[in-house]
Amino acid sequence: MGTTSLWGGRFRGAPDPALTAFSRSDPSHLRLVPYDVAGSCAHARELHRAGILDGDELERMLATLAEIDGDIAAGREATIASDEDIHTFVERLLMARLGALGGKLRAGRSRNDQAANDLKLYLRDEARTLSAGVLEIVDALVAQGERHVETAAPGFTHLQAAQPIAFGHQLLAHAQALSRDLDRFLDWDRRSARSPLGAAALAGSAIALRPDLSAAELGYDGPCENSIDAVGSRDHVAEFLFVTAMIGVDLSRLCEEIIYWCSQAVSWAKLDDSFATGSSIMPQKKNPDIAELTRGRSARLIGSLNAMMVALKGLPFAYNRDLIEDKRATFEAVDTLHLVLPAMAGLVSTLRFDEARMAEAATQGFTLATEMADWLARRGVPFSSAHEITGKAVRYCEDRGMTLEALSREDFTEIDPALEPAVAEHLSVAAALAARSAFGGTAPSAVREQLSRLRDRLGAPRAFAASHEAAR
């Protein structure tokens, strides 16, 4: 089969092999072939509207492009050394099957708008696929949170026991963060729903004059407003990578807590055998490898975002070959999350928690001190004084090796006259949780309300993720 070049007429010599090797696209770009073919079909219809293809030629072109797409997907066609990129690959096959007719497809377009379009279509698909994966983790957190609405545990600040909380509240904190990542994909897609086709190299096309129609055919809301912006911008790529990096960071924080909960020193949680590994030397070990690997992979996601931002920062505003880095960065991020998300969903859904051990820890470290200070404040004591009195009570307990809830009537009187015996009724985990029933609080009633609202909010991301399958 012959070779095809999309340029070269003005050159007197062949390109040096070093240039060819450096310029050739990475094999990973082959995942964009279906999007390149879809864009080519939309452009073929543009050429028909422009009178460059007649009706019979259009039908032959579309049928052949569909055959090529299927043959590449099935492995019946492969790239050769002279294929500079997927655009060259597809056009070579098209011309081999249609002859001169295949060469007509290049009229009125450029690899610049093709490349921008291919990646944008791919990312819009992946935003939906990745959303489905994040939803599985959120659903696992919601299910675990619902099981532990009444489970008491210590909440932490500075990794120091702070106040009692419902453990479901802690789990739902992670679900809330990930739900915002889902919202970010939705918001990103709204801004990214503009087609670059018709921008050609940078000035627009004198042949493809209805980019609005090709945009609608490809599922966009419309064409880009500015042809230079259409081919030269990659802020939609950087923003996509920010969302993936934020997902990585949010998952890394969850992983850090899971590792802590599963440590022998804490022993709040146990890993399911199917989502843990062992040691090659220590037979007793059960390691949280998924959590650790995910925590590590977040560095890759942050790195992909960094790489894209640095590649963009010094470019003049039009197409530059530097922009090919957009694919390496996005493929790395997408491939990383395709491994991470199902593993994390399984890990979270199979965790088993020791409710008794968490409840026992809920008052350790004087976590009920705030209840004493709040009680004093409600009795009219200025909070600065209430804080001081409660601090004295904690020191009193430390000196005697006792807890706040063990203080007697005589102890209260000795610490400070403002501490009346009635304060004892508030020095319990149940009382501490019930007191925080306001919107967003940790009281079981508030956590149940939070669960209900969260389920409602997930409706839009769920529909967004499902739209990927509906479009296929």
Integer Cα distance of 174 and 32 in angstroms: 33
Both structure tokens of 339? 């491994």
Strands 269-270 and 352-353: antiparallel
- In sequence order, what are the residues at sequence separation of 6 or more whose Cβ sits closer than 8 angstroms to the Cβ of residue 382? none
Whether residue 123 contacts residue 237, with contact meaning beta carbons closer than 8 Å, is answered with: yes
Radius of gyration of the chain (CA): 30
Nearest to 106 by CA among 10, 230, 202, 7: 7
Integer Cα distance of 329 and 114 in angstroms: 18
DSSP string computed for 254-309: HHHHHHHHHSTTT--EE--GGG-B--SS-TT--B-HHHHHHHHHHHHHHHHHHHHH
Cα→Cα distances 171→132, 254, 268, 288, 307, Å: 19, 9, 13, 18, 32
- Indicate the burial class of 97 (C-beta count within 10 angstroms; 0-12, 13-18, 19 or more): middle
Q: Identity (one letter) of the amino acid at 433? A: L
User: Under DSSP, is residue 145 helix (H, G, I), strand (E, B) or coil?
Assistant: helix
- In sequence order, what are the residues at sequence separation of 6 or more whose Cβ sits closer than 8 angstroms to the Cβ of residue 280? none
Both structure tokens of 344? 């994390």
468 is catalytic: no
Q: Look at the alpha carbons of 358, 360, 361, 367 in this order and tell me if their dihedral is positive or negative.
A: positive
Q: What residues form DSSP beta bridges with 51?
A: none
Q: Which of 23, 263, 267, 279 is catalytic?
A: 279
Helix (H) or strand (E) holding 353: strand 352-353
User: Under DSSP, is residue 352 helix (H, G, I), strand (E, B) or coil?
Assistant: strand
What's the DSSP call for residue 225? S
Integer Cα distance of 112 and 233 in angstroms: 11
Beta strand extents in 91-225 (DSSP E only):
152-157, 160-166, 194-195, 222-223
What's the length of the chain? 472
Both structure tokens of 261? 């909960």
CA 244 to chain centre: 4
Both structure tokens of 29? 């770009």
Q: Which residues are catalytic?
A: 158, 279
